[in-house]
Protein backbone atom coordinates (compact mmCIF):
# COMPACT_ATOMS: atom_id res chain seq x y z
CA UNK A 1 0.00 0.00 0.00
CA UNK A 2 1.05 3.55 -0.58
CA UNK A 3 -0.37 7.00 0.09
CA UNK A 4 0.61 8.26 -3.36
CA UNK A 5 -2.05 9.97 -5.45
CA UNK A 6 -2.24 7.16 -8.00
CA UNK A 7 -5.17 6.51 -10.31
CA UNK A 8 -7.80 4.44 -8.55
CA UNK A 9 -8.63 0.97 -9.86
CA UNK A 10 -5.22 0.10 -11.28
CA UNK A 11 -4.75 -2.56 -8.62
CA UNK A 12 -7.42 -4.62 -10.38
CA UNK A 13 -5.42 -4.81 -13.62
CA UNK A 14 -3.61 -8.08 -14.19
CA UNK A 15 0.16 -7.94 -14.62
CA UNK A 16 1.16 -9.40 -17.97
CA UNK A 17 3.52 -12.27 -17.28
CA UNK A 18 5.51 -14.18 -19.87
CA UNK A 19 7.08 -17.55 -19.25
CA UNK A 20 10.52 -17.27 -17.65
CA UNK A 21 13.15 -16.90 -20.36
CA UNK A 22 15.56 -19.78 -20.78
CA UNK A 23 13.44 -22.14 -18.67
CA UNK A 24 14.19 -24.86 -21.20
CA UNK A 25 11.92 -27.58 -22.45
CA UNK A 26 9.57 -27.23 -25.38
CA UNK A 27 8.05 -23.79 -25.58
CA UNK A 28 4.59 -23.92 -27.11
CA UNK A 29 3.00 -21.24 -24.93
CA UNK A 30 3.51 -17.91 -26.73
CA UNK A 31 2.71 -18.48 -30.42
CA UNK A 32 6.27 -17.69 -31.40
CA UNK A 33 7.69 -19.04 -34.64
CA UNK A 34 9.75 -22.17 -34.04
CA UNK A 35 12.37 -21.07 -36.58
CA UNK A 36 14.98 -18.36 -36.10
CA UNK A 37 14.86 -15.04 -37.93
CA UNK A 38 14.83 -15.03 -41.74
CA UNK A 39 18.12 -14.93 -43.73
CA UNK A 40 19.74 -11.53 -43.76
CA UNK A 41 18.32 -10.48 -40.41
CA UNK A 42 21.43 -11.41 -38.47
CA UNK A 43 23.72 -9.28 -40.65
CA UNK A 44 21.27 -6.39 -40.81
CA UNK A 45 20.86 -6.29 -37.04
CA UNK A 46 24.60 -6.67 -36.41
CA UNK A 47 25.12 -3.56 -38.53
CA UNK A 48 22.31 -1.75 -36.71
CA UNK A 49 23.78 -2.54 -33.30
CA UNK A 50 26.86 -0.49 -34.22
CA UNK A 51 24.64 2.59 -34.42
CA UNK A 52 22.71 2.30 -31.20
CA UNK A 53 24.47 5.27 -29.63
CA UNK A 54 22.17 7.25 -31.98
CA UNK A 55 18.42 7.53 -31.64
CA UNK A 56 16.47 5.60 -34.25
CA UNK A 57 14.73 7.23 -37.22
CA UNK A 58 11.46 8.12 -35.52
CA UNK A 59 9.57 7.98 -38.81
CA UNK A 60 10.98 4.56 -39.69
CA UNK A 61 11.25 5.92 -43.22
CA UNK A 62 12.94 2.95 -44.87
CA UNK A 63 10.64 0.32 -43.40
CA UNK A 64 7.56 2.45 -44.00
CA UNK A 65 8.53 2.98 -47.64
CA UNK A 66 9.11 -0.75 -48.18
CA UNK A 67 5.75 -1.63 -46.63
CA UNK A 68 4.08 1.03 -48.76
CA UNK A 69 5.67 -0.46 -51.89
CA UNK A 70 4.70 -3.98 -50.86
CA UNK A 71 1.02 -3.10 -50.55
CA UNK A 72 0.82 -0.34 -53.17
CA UNK A 73 -0.15 2.22 -50.54
CA UNK A 74 0.95 5.79 -49.82
CA UNK A 75 3.44 5.99 -46.94
CA UNK A 76 0.98 8.25 -45.11
CA UNK A 77 -1.32 5.26 -44.48
CA UNK A 78 1.29 3.22 -42.59
CA UNK A 79 2.09 3.58 -38.89
CA UNK A 80 4.83 1.62 -37.19
CA UNK A 81 4.64 0.63 -33.55
CA UNK A 82 6.57 -1.29 -30.88
CA UNK A 83 4.72 -4.48 -31.70
CA UNK A 84 1.11 -4.34 -32.70
CA UNK A 85 0.22 -4.13 -29.00
CA UNK A 86 1.91 -0.73 -28.97
CA UNK A 87 -0.39 0.30 -31.82
CA UNK A 88 -3.42 -1.11 -29.95
CA UNK A 89 -2.55 1.25 -27.11
CA UNK A 90 -2.24 4.20 -29.50
CA UNK A 91 -5.57 3.33 -31.15
CA UNK A 92 -7.19 3.40 -27.71
CA UNK A 93 -5.50 6.69 -26.89
CA UNK A 94 -6.79 8.40 -30.02
CA UNK A 95 -10.37 7.21 -29.46
CA UNK A 96 -11.15 6.83 -25.77
CA UNK A 97 -11.66 9.09 -22.83
CA UNK A 98 -12.63 7.85 -19.39
CA UNK A 99 -15.94 6.02 -19.53
CA UNK A 100 -16.00 5.45 -23.30
CA UNK A 101 -16.79 1.95 -24.45
CA UNK A 102 -14.59 -0.55 -26.24
CA UNK A 103 -16.13 -3.69 -27.69
CA UNK A 104 -14.07 -6.85 -27.85
CA UNK A 105 -14.83 -10.48 -28.61
CA UNK A 106 -14.12 -12.77 -25.68
CA UNK A 107 -12.15 -14.98 -25.42
CA UNK A 108 -9.74 -13.12 -27.56
CA UNK A 109 -6.31 -11.54 -27.24
CA UNK A 110 -5.80 -11.10 -23.50
CA UNK A 111 -4.12 -7.73 -23.96
CA UNK A 112 -7.27 -5.96 -25.30
CA UNK A 113 -9.19 -5.61 -22.01
CA UNK A 114 -6.13 -4.61 -20.01
CA UNK A 115 -5.05 -1.93 -22.47
CA UNK A 116 -8.61 -0.63 -22.80
CA UNK A 117 -8.97 -0.33 -19.03
CA UNK A 118 -5.56 1.32 -18.84
CA UNK A 119 -6.92 3.94 -21.23
CA UNK A 120 -9.85 4.46 -18.85
CA UNK A 121 -12.35 2.81 -21.18
CA UNK A 122 -15.17 0.48 -20.22
CA UNK A 123 -14.81 -2.96 -21.82
CA UNK A 124 -17.82 -4.70 -23.32
CA UNK A 125 -16.76 -8.29 -23.88
CA UNK A 126 -19.02 -10.18 -26.28
CA UNK A 127 -18.89 -13.99 -25.93
CA UNK A 128 -17.70 -16.08 -28.86
CA UNK A 129 -20.15 -18.17 -30.87
CA UNK A 130 -20.43 -21.92 -30.10
CA UNK A 131 -18.00 -22.41 -33.01
CA UNK A 132 -15.40 -20.36 -31.02
CA UNK A 133 -15.56 -17.39 -33.42
CA UNK A 134 -16.05 -13.71 -32.59
CA UNK A 135 -19.82 -13.12 -32.68
CA UNK A 136 -19.93 -10.30 -35.22
CA UNK A 137 -23.72 -10.00 -35.14
CA UNK A 138 -23.76 -9.58 -31.36
CA UNK A 139 -20.79 -7.22 -31.49
CA UNK A 140 -22.52 -4.96 -34.03
CA UNK A 141 -25.67 -5.02 -31.89
CA UNK A 142 -23.65 -4.01 -28.80
CA UNK A 143 -22.50 -0.71 -30.32
CA UNK A 144 -23.94 2.33 -28.54
CA UNK A 145 -23.39 6.08 -28.59
CA UNK A 146 -20.56 5.52 -26.11
CA UNK A 147 -18.69 3.04 -28.33
CA UNK A 148 -15.37 4.39 -29.55
CA UNK A 149 -13.44 1.34 -30.64
CA UNK A 150 -14.13 -2.25 -31.68
CA UNK A 151 -11.47 -4.97 -31.84
CA UNK A 152 -11.89 -7.87 -34.24
CA UNK A 153 -9.27 -10.60 -34.23
CA UNK A 154 -8.88 -13.09 -37.09
CA UNK A 155 -7.53 -15.72 -36.79
CA UNK A 156 -8.78 -15.24 -33.26
CA UNK A 157 -6.25 -15.71 -30.48
CA UNK A 158 -6.60 -18.15 -28.65
CA UNK A 159 -9.20 -20.12 -30.62
CA UNK A 160 -7.53 -19.93 -34.06
CA UNK A 161 -10.85 -19.49 -35.85
CA UNK A 162 -10.90 -17.45 -39.07
CA UNK A 163 -13.74 -15.08 -39.87
CA UNK A 164 -15.10 -15.31 -43.41
CA UNK A 165 -14.86 -12.53 -45.93
CA UNK A 166 -18.61 -12.09 -46.26
CA UNK A 167 -19.39 -12.00 -42.56
CA UNK A 168 -16.58 -9.49 -42.02
CA UNK A 169 -17.73 -7.21 -44.83
CA UNK A 170 -21.32 -7.37 -43.56
CA UNK A 171 -20.06 -6.46 -40.09
CA UNK A 172 -17.96 -3.52 -41.28
CA UNK A 173 -20.94 -2.19 -43.19
CA UNK A 174 -23.14 -2.52 -40.09
CA UNK A 175 -20.77 -0.50 -37.87
CA UNK A 176 -21.53 3.26 -37.81
CA UNK A 177 -19.04 5.10 -40.00
CA UNK A 178 -17.68 7.14 -37.09
CA UNK A 179 -16.75 4.14 -34.91
CA UNK A 180 -13.21 2.87 -35.44
CA UNK A 181 -12.79 -0.88 -35.98
CA UNK A 182 -9.41 -2.55 -35.56
CA UNK A 183 -8.92 -5.71 -37.60
CA UNK A 184 -6.10 -7.52 -35.81
CA UNK A 185 -4.44 -9.82 -38.33
CA UNK A 186 -1.40 -10.86 -36.30
CA UNK A 187 -1.55 -14.36 -37.81
CA UNK A 188 -2.62 -13.39 -41.32
CA UNK A 189 0.39 -14.92 -43.05
CA UNK A 190 -0.53 -18.39 -41.73
CA UNK A 191 -4.11 -18.40 -43.01
CA UNK A 192 -3.39 -19.52 -46.56
CA UNK A 193 -7.07 -19.60 -47.54
CA UNK A 194 -7.51 -17.69 -50.82
CA UNK A 195 -11.11 -16.89 -49.82
CA UNK A 196 -10.10 -15.24 -46.54
CA UNK A 197 -10.33 -11.47 -46.35
CA UNK A 198 -7.05 -9.64 -46.86
CA UNK A 199 -7.50 -6.82 -44.35
CA UNK A 200 -4.92 -4.55 -45.93
CA UNK A 201 -6.41 -4.85 -49.43
CA UNK A 202 -9.83 -4.28 -47.87
CA UNK A 203 -8.78 -1.17 -45.91
CA UNK A 204 -7.10 0.19 -49.04
CA UNK A 205 -10.31 -0.24 -51.04
CA UNK A 206 -12.37 1.42 -48.30
CA UNK A 207 -10.01 4.38 -48.14
CA UNK A 208 -10.51 4.80 -51.88
CA UNK A 209 -14.24 5.08 -51.17
CA UNK A 210 -13.59 7.71 -48.50
CA UNK A 211 -14.39 5.42 -45.56
CA UNK A 212 -11.92 5.74 -42.73
CA UNK A 213 -13.22 3.62 -39.90
CA UNK A 214 -11.54 0.24 -40.47
CA UNK A 215 -7.82 -0.22 -39.84
CA UNK A 216 -5.68 -3.35 -40.19
CA UNK A 217 -2.97 -4.41 -37.76
CA UNK A 218 -0.12 -6.72 -38.69
CA UNK A 219 3.07 -7.68 -36.92
CA UNK A 220 6.57 -9.01 -37.52
CA UNK A 221 6.31 -11.00 -34.27
CA UNK A 222 4.65 -14.14 -35.56
CA UNK A 223 5.25 -15.43 -39.11
CA UNK A 224 8.36 -13.27 -39.53
CA UNK A 225 9.88 -14.62 -36.35
CA UNK A 226 10.81 -11.23 -34.87
CA UNK A 227 8.85 -11.30 -31.60
CA UNK A 228 11.96 -10.30 -29.67
CA UNK A 229 12.58 -6.98 -31.41
CA UNK A 230 9.02 -5.55 -31.21
CA UNK A 231 7.72 -4.13 -34.43
CA UNK A 232 4.25 -4.09 -35.94
CA UNK A 233 2.28 -1.83 -38.27
CA UNK A 234 -1.12 -0.38 -38.82
CA UNK A 235 -2.70 0.40 -42.19
CA UNK A 236 -5.30 3.14 -41.94
CA UNK A 237 -6.67 6.23 -43.62
CA UNK A 238 -4.28 9.17 -43.39
CA UNK A 239 -6.19 11.12 -40.68
CA UNK A 240 -6.03 8.08 -38.41
CA UNK A 241 -2.31 7.60 -39.05
CA UNK A 242 -1.78 11.29 -38.33
CA UNK A 243 -3.42 10.95 -34.91
CA UNK A 244 -1.51 7.73 -34.16
CA UNK A 245 1.74 9.64 -34.78
CA UNK A 246 0.68 12.34 -32.30
CA UNK A 247 0.26 9.92 -29.40
CA UNK A 248 3.26 7.73 -30.21
CA UNK A 249 6.03 7.33 -27.67
CA UNK A 250 9.07 8.91 -29.36
CA UNK A 251 11.58 6.42 -30.82
CA UNK A 252 9.40 3.47 -29.83
CA UNK A 253 10.57 1.34 -32.78
CA UNK A 254 14.30 0.96 -32.39
CA UNK A 255 16.92 0.79 -35.13
CA UNK A 256 17.55 -2.93 -34.71
CA UNK A 257 13.85 -3.68 -35.09
CA UNK A 258 13.53 -1.46 -38.16
CA UNK A 259 16.49 -3.09 -39.92
CA UNK A 260 15.36 -6.60 -38.98
CA UNK A 261 11.93 -5.92 -40.45
CA UNK A 262 13.37 -4.46 -43.66
CA UNK A 263 15.64 -7.49 -44.10
CA UNK A 264 12.69 -9.82 -43.48
CA UNK A 265 10.54 -8.18 -46.13
CA UNK A 266 13.17 -9.17 -48.69
CA UNK A 267 12.65 -12.88 -47.93
CA UNK A 268 9.23 -13.51 -49.45
CA UNK A 269 9.85 -17.03 -50.73
CA UNK A 270 11.59 -18.17 -47.54
CA UNK A 271 8.69 -16.78 -45.51
CA UNK A 272 6.21 -18.71 -47.67
CA UNK A 273 8.15 -21.93 -47.18
CA UNK A 274 8.15 -21.56 -43.41
CA UNK A 275 4.53 -20.62 -43.21
CA UNK A 276 3.74 -23.67 -45.35
CA UNK A 277 5.63 -25.95 -42.97
CA UNK A 278 3.76 -24.50 -40.00
CA UNK A 279 0.39 -24.95 -41.74
CA UNK A 280 1.16 -28.57 -42.60
CA UNK A 281 2.24 -29.29 -39.03
CA UNK A 282 -0.84 -27.52 -37.69
CA UNK A 283 -3.11 -29.76 -39.76
CA UNK A 284 -1.17 -32.92 -38.91
CA UNK A 285 -1.34 -32.13 -35.19
CA UNK A 286 -4.99 -31.17 -35.32
CA UNK A 287 -6.01 -34.29 -37.23
CA UNK A 288 -4.32 -36.55 -34.68
CA UNK A 289 -5.98 -34.76 -31.76
CA UNK A 290 -9.40 -34.84 -33.41
CA UNK A 291 -8.99 -38.53 -34.20
CA UNK A 292 -8.37 -39.17 -30.50
CA UNK A 293 -11.59 -37.40 -29.55
CA UNK A 294 -10.32 -33.94 -28.67
CA UNK A 295 -12.41 -31.01 -29.81
CA UNK A 296 -10.07 -28.70 -31.77
CA UNK A 297 -11.59 -25.88 -33.83
CA UNK A 298 -10.03 -25.44 -37.29
CA UNK A 299 -7.20 -22.91 -36.96
CA UNK A 300 -5.77 -20.36 -39.36
CA UNK A 301 -2.93 -19.44 -37.01
CA UNK A 302 0.26 -21.13 -35.81
CA UNK A 303 -1.58 -22.54 -32.80
CA UNK A 304 -4.47 -24.80 -31.80
CA UNK A 305 -7.18 -24.39 -29.17
CA UNK A 306 -8.33 -27.25 -26.98
CA UNK A 307 -11.48 -26.23 -25.12
CA UNK A 308 -10.85 -28.59 -22.20
CA UNK A 309 -12.81 -26.66 -19.58
CA UNK A 310 -11.96 -27.88 -16.08
CA UNK A 311 -9.31 -30.20 -17.51
CA UNK A 312 -7.29 -27.25 -18.87
CA UNK A 313 -5.06 -26.73 -15.85
CA UNK A 314 -4.47 -30.51 -15.38
CA UNK A 315 -3.57 -30.72 -19.09
CA UNK A 316 -1.05 -27.90 -18.68
CA UNK A 317 0.50 -29.64 -15.69
CA UNK A 318 0.58 -32.97 -17.54
CA UNK A 319 2.46 -31.26 -20.40
CA UNK A 320 4.79 -29.47 -18.00
CA UNK A 321 5.67 -32.79 -16.38
CA UNK A 322 6.97 -33.70 -19.83
CA UNK A 323 8.79 -30.37 -20.12
CA UNK A 324 6.30 -28.98 -22.61
CA UNK A 325 4.97 -25.51 -21.89
CA UNK A 326 1.49 -24.69 -23.17
CA UNK A 327 -0.89 -21.84 -22.35
CA UNK A 328 -3.84 -22.80 -20.13
CA UNK A 329 -6.75 -20.45 -19.50
CA UNK A 330 -8.15 -21.99 -16.36
CA UNK A 331 -11.63 -23.42 -16.76
CA UNK A 332 -11.72 -22.65 -20.48
CA UNK A 333 -9.07 -24.25 -22.61
CA UNK A 334 -5.47 -24.72 -23.59
CA UNK A 335 -3.69 -23.00 -26.44
CA UNK A 336 -0.77 -24.87 -27.97
CA UNK A 337 1.61 -23.28 -30.44
CA UNK A 338 2.61 -25.31 -33.48
CA UNK A 339 6.31 -25.99 -33.09
CA UNK A 340 8.87 -27.98 -35.01
CA UNK A 341 7.76 -31.48 -36.06
CA UNK A 342 9.55 -33.24 -33.19
CA UNK A 343 8.05 -30.77 -30.70
CA UNK A 344 4.57 -31.41 -32.04
CA UNK A 345 5.23 -35.15 -31.73
CA UNK A 346 6.04 -34.62 -28.04
CA UNK A 347 2.86 -32.62 -27.60
CA UNK A 348 0.85 -35.36 -29.29
CA UNK A 349 2.44 -37.99 -27.05
CA UNK A 350 1.40 -35.91 -24.04
CA UNK A 351 -2.16 -35.52 -25.34
CA UNK A 352 -2.36 -39.22 -26.09
CA UNK A 353 -1.48 -40.08 -22.50
CA UNK A 354 -3.64 -37.40 -20.86
CA UNK A 355 -6.14 -39.48 -18.95
CA UNK A 356 -9.02 -37.04 -18.76
CA UNK A 357 -8.63 -35.55 -22.23
CA UNK A 358 -11.32 -37.32 -24.19
CA UNK A 359 -13.73 -37.72 -21.31
CA UNK A 360 -13.75 -34.02 -20.51
CA UNK A 361 -13.97 -32.87 -24.04
CA UNK A 362 -17.57 -33.59 -25.02
CA UNK A 363 -18.81 -32.02 -21.82
CA UNK A 364 -17.21 -28.64 -22.34
CA UNK A 365 -17.91 -28.23 -26.02
CA UNK A 366 -21.64 -27.96 -25.40
CA UNK A 367 -21.25 -25.31 -22.71
CA UNK A 368 -18.87 -23.02 -24.60
C1 LIG B 1 0.80 -11.99 -30.88
C2 LIG B 1 -0.34 -11.10 -31.16
C3 LIG B 1 -0.14 -9.78 -31.51
C4 LIG B 1 1.24 -9.28 -31.75
O5 LIG B 1 1.74 -8.56 -30.79
P6 LIG B 1 3.12 -7.82 -31.03
O7 LIG B 1 3.01 -6.70 -30.09
O8 LIG B 1 3.15 -7.37 -32.45
O9 LIG B 1 4.19 -8.80 -30.72
C10 LIG B 1 -1.22 -8.97 -31.77
N11 LIG B 1 -2.46 -9.46 -31.72
C12 LIG B 1 -2.68 -10.74 -31.43
C13 LIG B 1 -4.06 -11.25 -31.44
C14 LIG B 1 -1.64 -11.59 -31.13
O15 LIG B 1 -1.86 -12.86 -30.82
Ligand 1 center to 182 CA (angstroms): 13
* pLDDT (0 to 100) of residue 194: 83
Instruction: Using the mean position of ligand 1's atoms as its centre, give its distance from the Cα of residue 115 in Å.
Output: 13
Question: Is 368's pLDDT higher than 60?
Answer: no
Q: Within 6 Å (CB) of ligand 1, which residues are found? A: 31, 83-85, 109, 153, 157, 184, 186, 219, 221-222, 227, 232
**Predicted confidence band of residue 250 (pLDDT cuts 50, 70, 90):** very high
Three-class SS of the chain: CCCCCCCCCHHHCCCCCCCCCCCCCEECCCCCCCCCCCCCHHHHHHHHHCCCCCCCCCCCHHHHHHHHHHHCCCHHHEEEECHHHHHHHHHHHHHCCCCCEEEEEECCCCHHHHHHHHCCCEEEEEECCCCCCCCHHHHHHCCCCCEEEEEEECCCCCCCCCCCHHHHHHHHHHCCCCCEEEEECCCHHHHCCCCCCCHHHHHHHHHHCCCCCEEEEEECCCCCCCCCCCCEEEECCHHHHHHHHHHCCCCCCCHHHHHHHHHHHCCHHHHHHHHHHHHHHHHHHHHHHHHCCCCCCCCCCCEEEECCHHHHHHHHHHHHHCCEECEEECCCEEEEECCCHHHHHHHHHHHHCCCCHHHHHHHHHHHC
Ligand 1 pocket test: pick from 105, 154, 162, 222 the residue with the most ligand atoms within 8 Å of its Cβ. Answer: 222
Q: Specify the residue with its C-alpha closest to ligand 1, atom 7.
A: 83
- pLDDT over 60 (residue 361): no
Rounded distance from Cα 89 to ligand 1 centre (Å): 12
Residue 295 pLDDT greater than 50, yes or no: yes
Predicted local confidence at residue 360, as pLDDT: 52
Atom of ligand 1 nearest to the CA of 82: 7
d(CA 64, CA 50): 22
Please, which pLDDT band fits residue 359 given cuts at 50, 70 and 90? low
CA-to-CA distance for 268 and 287, rounded, in angstroms? 29
Looking at residue 356, what is its pLDDT? Answer: 66
Instruction: Name the pLDDT band for 310 (thresholds 50, 70, 90).
Output: very high
- Quick one: pLDDT band at residue 365, thresholds 50, 70, 90? very low
Helices 341-352 and 268-291, axial angle in degrees (round to 10): 10
Report pLDDT for 195. 83
Confidence at 24, pLDDT banded by 50, 70, 90: confident
Mean pLDDT taken over the chain: 95
CA of 2 to the centre of ligand 1 (A): 33
pLDDT of the residue at 367: 34
Region of poorest pLDDT, from 6-20, 117-131, 173-187, 310-324: 6-20
Report the pLDDT value the prediction gives residue 99, as an integer from 0 to 100. Answer: 95
Task: Report the share of the chain in percent with pLDDT over 90.
Answer: 92
**CA of residue 318 to ligand 1 center, whole Å:** 27
- In this prediction, residues 305-327 reach a mean pLDDT of 97
For ligand 1, atom 1, name the residue with the nearest CA.
186
The per-residue pLDDT for 19 is 73
Q: Which is higher by pLDDT, 288 or 193?
A: 288
Tell me the mean pLDDT in the region 305-333.
97
Q: Which residues contact 54 (CB under 8 A, 6 or more apart)?
A: 255
pLDDT in tens, 87-102: 999 999 999 999 999 9
When pLDDT is averaged across residues 303-307 and rounded to a whole number, the result is 98
Q: Which of 233, 255, 230 is nearest to 244 (CA)?
A: 233
Res 136: pLDDT: 98
pTM exceeds 0.85: yes
Mean pLDDT calculated for residue range 251-273: 97
pLDDT at 362: 45
Sequence-distant (≥ 6) Cβ neighbours of residue 120 within 8 angstroms: 96, 97, 98, 99, 100
pLDDT above 70: percentage of residues in the chain: 96
Average pLDDT over residues 240-256: 98
| Residue 355, pLDDT score | 82
- Among 329, 323, 339, residue whose Cα is nearest residue 364: 329
Amino acid sequence: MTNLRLRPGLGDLPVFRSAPAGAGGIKLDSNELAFGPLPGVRDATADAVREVNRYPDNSGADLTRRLAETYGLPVETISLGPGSVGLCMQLLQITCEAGDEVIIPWRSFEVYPTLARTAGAVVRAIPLTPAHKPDLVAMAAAITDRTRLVFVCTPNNPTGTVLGREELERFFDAVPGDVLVVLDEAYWEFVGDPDALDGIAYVKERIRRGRHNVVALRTFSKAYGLAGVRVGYCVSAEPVADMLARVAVPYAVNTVAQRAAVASLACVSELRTRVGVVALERERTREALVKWGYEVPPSGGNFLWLPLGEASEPFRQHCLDRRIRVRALAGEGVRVTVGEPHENDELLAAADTFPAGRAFNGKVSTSS
